[in-house]
A and B are shown apart, each in its own frame.
Chain A
């Protein structure tokens, strides 16, 4: 090969390629994994750990796993990995609890309806978002209640003690989320109010419910409350738990919202007043839109915590996703597959929590108006 020489006019020399050891895979590795002695040692150590744990994990999770089968015998083969047959055979139960099999179309259609209603909310050019949002928050729960619980329109009643699994988790957290946000906003405004009674009621409420653990609230609702009622008063256990969760969660929500309210500069309040807006108008049009936008991460944090906290209902004998998996583990036909059950529960919870946090990031970006501090 001959080396060609080329001459350039002064100032027209094209940019040289960057040095080869700073580009491509090698460059990336040098920059990110082996930039110093300490980092190199740490990287190698982590690689070693991954090498130790990842291949057996994949072997167990997928390669050696048993995917289908009707009883524990299929998983008792020598060298068998994870027993997904256990999840497979109980999948409907994990999703719906003891909901009657031939009526599963009812929760299914409630879920599909919700998804169908939500889609327009993500379409930019759709102009009736407020109305649709109101419909989802106010009318939809009633429709969903009649669909899942039944009792009129010729639908057979399915009592709440038959509800369970992921459906129950979603119902509990959905109701908790939808109800606790407005109550929380009202409580936060109440706490910052100048009217002494409103203020003290809000403060007492918030401090009381923040001061007790959720597990105590649930115990109170399931163990103590029935003693106060006349015998035979059947006050639904799920409803009791739900009320407890809403009460508890709205106190937390109130504090998150209050954080947002306090971050709004005083000038905004004064400007609203100067425009002659009433209290509710100034709150609704000026203060809250800004305050709520500020605290989206906090609100979503609370929602995610609530979603995971719903598993606590297992201590009062409600079969949410985690409880129904534990229950299935105690079936003598499937004893000894706890690990698979917990792995399944963890991945379902992860999917839901992760989507919630991604959605909140997207929402923040969308509402971002250049005032980011």
Chain B
């Protein structure tokens, strides 16, 4: 039995090695006619299916942008819902072409899993939510507070670090699930709730009176989330990377899904480069970026639609504003 197990393990390792030395994803995508995209099994605003079964969200829009660039049609995506444990295997084994599933970019994942992170489509980070009645403007005023938190997550460690760093005391009230955490917060078991910011906004809606709670501006950890591809296929890596960049560049240049067709004839050389040409360098057609912007929209549109002020989540742009507006979203020029 032992021998069998080790043989199996060895085979699996060899299989992984063989798998990661990958083929040409772009041509396989073109020949099958769709992009197979790994998404979450349901995360508000990032990826979830609506009542008619269409996938929507900020992460889903990245998949759609890649399909628009590679195949000219944002609708040509097939979604594979993945749990957190399955996501990397699904990518390594070639079950999916790309992974867009609120995955934090870390050195370990980038360096040891045979994967490449193609950029950051959402800068997340751990934050705090308090009741408005408390009248607090900053987390630094919360010395001695009771904090509702989900047990066994990195959130717990980050929180301990933050309070120690600032010489403050706190009492943690831990729960097993995020649902239990928000129930505890609602029942007044703690003064504030700590979790990733994108989660905080989704949790806030679950309160009986969402208006009574506010999310504080402090962000105490770095959680850059972005799309991931397999290592060893630089061409496909570039396509995913620049599909995201094209959305950010389009916002910077003021090109939206509505004005994209009229912008095609503009004299502005940067917009001209975005709307036509440059495609062959990525192995794509000429109108790749035009397809993205006209069918999916620019980054700002996607943000507002899925998680921003025109969505139920009402997340402010914050770190995800363009670099020119005080945020971190910065895309290299298309030229």
Contacts and interface: CB of A to CB of B under 8 A. Distances in A.
Interface of A: 72, 89-90, 93, 97-98, 101, 161-162, 219, 222-224, 226-232, 234, 314-317, 319, 323, 326-333, 335-336, 338
Given A161-B80, A219-B85, A332 B28 contact: no
B49 A331 contact: yes
A230 B81 CA distance: 22
A150 B282 CA distance: 38
A329 B203 CA distance: 12
Contacts of A97: 53
A330 B83 contact: no
Given A232-B28, A330-B48, A336-B205, A223 B85 contact: yes
B41 A314 contact: yes
Nearest to B90: A226
B81 A319 contact: yes
Contacts of B79: 161
Contacts, number: 107
18 contacts: A72-B312, A89-B51, A93-B49, A93-B53, A97-B53, A101-B52, A223-B86, A227-B93, A228-B15, A231-B94, A232-B94, A317-B41, A327-B41, A327-B42, A327-B48, A327-B49, A332-B202, A338-B179
B22 A231 contact: yes
B12 A229 contact: no
B23 A330 contact: no
B86 A317 contact: yes
A214 to B, nearest CB: 16
B270 to A, nearest CB: 34
Q: 3 shortest A-B CB distances, which residue pairs?
A: A330-B42, A226-B93, A231-B94
A315 B83 contact: yes
A202 to B, nearest CB: 17
User: Which secondary structure dominates where chain A touches chain B?
Assistant: helix
A323 B41 contact: yes
B133 to A, nearest CB: 19
Contacts of A98: 49, 53
Contact of B44 (A89, A162, A316, A331): A331
A333 B44 CA distance: 9
Interface residues of B, number: 43
Contact of A333 (B19, B50, B78, B81): B50
Contacts of B206: 335-336
Contacts of A162: 53
A98 B49 CA distance: 9
Interface of B: 11-12, 15-16, 18-19, 22-23, 28, 41-45, 48-53, 78-83, 85-86, 89-90, 92-95, 179, 202, 205-207, 307, 311-313
Nearest to A204: B1
Contact of A161 (B19, B78, B312): B78
Contacts of A327: 41-42, 48-49, 81
Given A89-B51, A326-B41, 12 more contacts: A72-B312, A93-B49, A98-B49, A223-B86, A224-B12, A224-B89, A314-B41, A327-B49, A328-B49, A331-B49, A332-B45, A335-B205
A332 B313 contact: yes
Contacts of B48: 327, 330-332
Contact of A332 (B22, B53, B207, B311): B311
Contacts of B80: 161, 317
B93 A331 contact: no
Contact of B89 (A72, A161, A223): A223
Which of B43, B44, B80, B179: most chain A CB closer than 10 A?
B44
Contacts of A330: 42-44, 48, 202
Contacts of B41: 314, 317, 319, 323, 326-327
A93 B51 contact: yes
A329 B205 CA distance: 12
B27 to A, nearest CB: 12
Given A101-B52, A223-B86, A231 B42 contact: no
Contacts of A227: 12, 15-16, 19, 89, 92-93
Nearest to A231: B94
A166 to B, nearest CB: 15
A297 to B, nearest CB: 35
B35 to A, nearest CB: 14
A228 B205 CA distance: 43
Nearest to A97: B53
A162 B80 CA distance: 10
Contacts of A230: 15, 18-19
Contacts of B311: 332
A226 B16 CA distance: 9
A231 B93 contact: yes
